[in-house]
Homo-oligomer: A and B are copies of this chain.
Amino acid sequence: MFKSVGIVARYDKKTALKLAGELAEYLKSKGLKVYVEDTLKGKIATQEEMVPLANMKADFIITIGGDGTILRTCITVPKPEPPILAINMGVRGFLTEVEPKNACEAVDKCLRGEYKIEKCAKLCVSLGDEDMPDALNDVVISAGEPSKILYTQICKDDKPILKVQADGLIVATQTGSTGYSLSAGGPVLDGEVNAFVLTPICSLTVFHSLVFPADSTLSFNVIRPKNMLVLIDGHYRKLVSLKEPMLQVTRSKNATSFIRFEENFYHRLKSRLLFKGTE
């Protein structure tokens, strides 16, 4: 049973801030200990405790925003990640489920235990001994210098399999397969398939998406230029030079859990495929 809750919201959108304040009151009135992300300090009227996302230990977290808000939360909250109830207040809300007007109803269901947990696999990214955050959606590598082509050797389980010249490469989870990888022409991975997908961005050489077993390890050895940029879930960014160890990507031991009320992967997929932008 949930005794504490964290609230994370977009701080650049008034409606998100207003809903964050209302939910904080509502959850407190239900007897929960409420933590609010401290970036909202001074922006919402609440007496609840303000904590940085990196210290937010709660039984579950409510995100109010789009996919960006969720990805930022996953990267930063202490592990193991508490489950996320995602309320859609973003331009792109493919990972979210609840519309703002149904927020209180969704909270009630949560507290009554009337929900399912959708576990989403993540990718573990490493560079020698160095720690990087896990990816819920994708790891993107590209040339460290703008408008350069990345020329890289790809290994699977330490065996060289292909060399590729492309703007970049995306390694995406099942969840991420409906995101950037899809825009780059990749396939959709059903949520139950135990795999991840490598999709090139504007490949110069003939090359399609490749689907690998989740327990394999991909490594990337840059041949040209001298640096490559690693971008995790669109938020974490690191420049890696040729002299460093190979970048490795494999399945993480961690997962992100979403609180869901219906099985709606294919419903969400349809809305993604027909996404019209804001027009």
Contact = CB atoms under 8 A, between A and B. Distances in A.
Interface of A: 92, 140, 146-147, 151, 156, 159, 161-167, 177, 180, 182-190, 192-195, 197, 199, 201-213, 216, 229, 231, 234, 237, 263, 266, 269-270, 273-279
6 contacts: A92-B204, A186-B187, A188-B208, A190-B212, A193-B213, A206-B275
A151 B102 CA distance: 29
A209 B188 contact: yes
B163 A180 contact: no
Contacts of A204: 92, 183, 275, 277
A268 B25 CA distance: 48
Most buried by B among A151, A161, A163, A211: A211
B161 A266 contact: yes
A216 B190 contact: yes
Question: How many subunits of this chain does the assembly comprise?
Answer: 4
Contacts of A216: 190, 192
Contacts of A207: 273
Nearest to A215: B192
B274 A276 contact: yes
Given A188-B208, A202-B201, A208-B188, A194 B213 contact: yes
B190 A274 contact: no
Contact of A190 (B183, B210, B266): B210
B202 A273 contact: no
A274 to B, nearest CB: 6
A202 B188 contact: no
Nearest to A189: B211
A164 B273 CA distance: 13
B205 A276 contact: yes
Contact of A274 (B180, B188, B274): B274
Given A163-B279, A205-B276, A195 B211 contact: yes
A156 to B, nearest CB: 7
Nearest to A266: B161
